[in-house]
């Protein structure tokens, strides 16, 4: 019984260590100085408060050995808004933001949904009328 408990503690500590390493690895966000094709994403409206205070807000890229493919990316603000409407997301709590990456360089376009392939920073909340 005691041996099983020790083994369980070692297993849980190892799992926590690997999760911490993975979170640290993905917390390093890419910030491109020149962006030809912006990336847009949906995020909490309160992120804009943090951004106005100079705090960094990160949209995570792929994590946990492919189990999380990375945040969903949109080519245009209109596409993000259409997705919010299609999924009946709460427009009072969510907003569309521009990210710190370039769509052509930082988005995995395989499949129906497009995901960022590295962690990126939220740059600015876009102003628009709710559809």
Structural domain for 92, as ranges? 29-125
Residue-by-residue pLDDT tens, the chain, 131 positions: 677 888 888 888 877 776 666 666 556 777 888 888 999 999 998 888 888 898 888 888 887 666 777 889 999 999 999 988 888 888 788 999 999 999 999 998 777 779 898 889 899 998 866 55
- 31-45 in b/e form (b: 16+ CB < 10 A) is ebeebeebbbbbbee
Q: Identify the bridge partners of residue 102 per DSSP, sorted by sequence position.
A: 38
Assess if residue 9 is contained within a domain: no
Per the structure, the count of domains in the chain is 1
Assess if residue 19 is contained within a domain: no
| Nearest alpha-carbon partner for 69 in 101, 127, 121, 116 | 116
pTM of the model as a whole: 0.75
Long-range contacts of 84-87 (CB under 8 A, 24+ apart): 84/42, 85/131
Assess if residue 61 is contained within a domain: yes
Assess if residue 51 is contained within a domain: yes
Assess if residue 96 is contained within a domain: yes
Assess if residue 24 is contained within a domain: no
CA of residue 124 relative to chain centroid, distance? 14
């Amino acid at each position: 019984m005691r041996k099983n408990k020790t083994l369980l503690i070692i297993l849980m500590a190892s799992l926590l260590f690997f999760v911490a390493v993975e979170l640290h690895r993905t917390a390093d966000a890419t910030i491109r100085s020149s962006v030809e094709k912006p990336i847009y994403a949906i995020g909490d409206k309160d992120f804009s408060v943090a951004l106005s205070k100079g705090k960094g807000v990160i949209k995570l890229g792929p994590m946990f050995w492919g189990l999380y493919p990375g945040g969903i990316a949109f080519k245009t603000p209109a596409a993000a808004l259409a997705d919010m409407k299609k999924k009946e997301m709460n427009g009072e709590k969510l907003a569309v933001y521009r990210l710190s990456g370039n769509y052509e360089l930082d988005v995995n376009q395989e499949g129906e949904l497009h995901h960022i392939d590295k962690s990126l920073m939220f740059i600015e909340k876009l102003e628009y009328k709710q559809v």
